[in-house]
Amino acid sequence: LWWRGTLWLLTKHRGDRKTKLYRFPELGADSKQVVLELVDDFDLGASLSDDASAYPGMGRELGLLFPEIVDEIGGEFASLQECVGWIYGDPRHEPTPAEKLWASSYLIQLHAKLTQKLLGLRPQAAIGYCAGESNALFALGAWQDFDFFV
């Protein structure tokens, strides 16, 4: 559901669950539904993963469905095309570790913005490992200058 990681809830009472159904009209009439079990009193958190699984074409459909989110990320990350353009280029390209890192960061930010804007879910805490900690700080809005890292 969120990023390339895990979304989790911390609740005070196990039986206080409510089910909320989300439909994505942008995906057409036959779109899949996402069912989330929510509670009245909960804290939301996320675990963010590393960059090792970056691959050509990842996130392509999401980027096409939500170009305004991609543009927003591009506004925060001026060298976005230079750093992650390889994921939409030649599928035979062998990415460097740095290219994988930036592509993974891009996809994590895309998932984070969609989760926050489309689903209205904003975690109060995040745990990251192997570059996930930096991505968590960007995804939660604590850090905002991607180009400083590039």
Which positions ≥6 away from 98 have C-beta within 8 Å? none
Q: Are 70 and 119 in contact (CB under 8 A)?
A: no
Domain coverage including residue 85: 5-149
One-letter identity of residue 145: D
CATH of the domain at 88: 3.40.366
| Residue 117 CB burial class (10 angstroms; 0-12, 13-18, ≥19) | middle
Q: What is the mean pLDDT of residues 89-98?
A: 87
Lowest mean pLDDT among 5-14, 103-112, 121-130: 5-14
Q: What is the mean pLDDT of residues 34-38?
A: 49
Number of independent structural domains in the chain: 1
The model's pTM: 0.68
Q: pLDDT exceeding 70 applies to what percent of the chain?
A: 60
- What is the per-residue pLDDT across 55-88, written as a single tens digit (0 to 9) for each? 888 888 888 889 999 999 888 888 888 888 898 8
Q: What is the pLDDT of residue 71?
A: 92
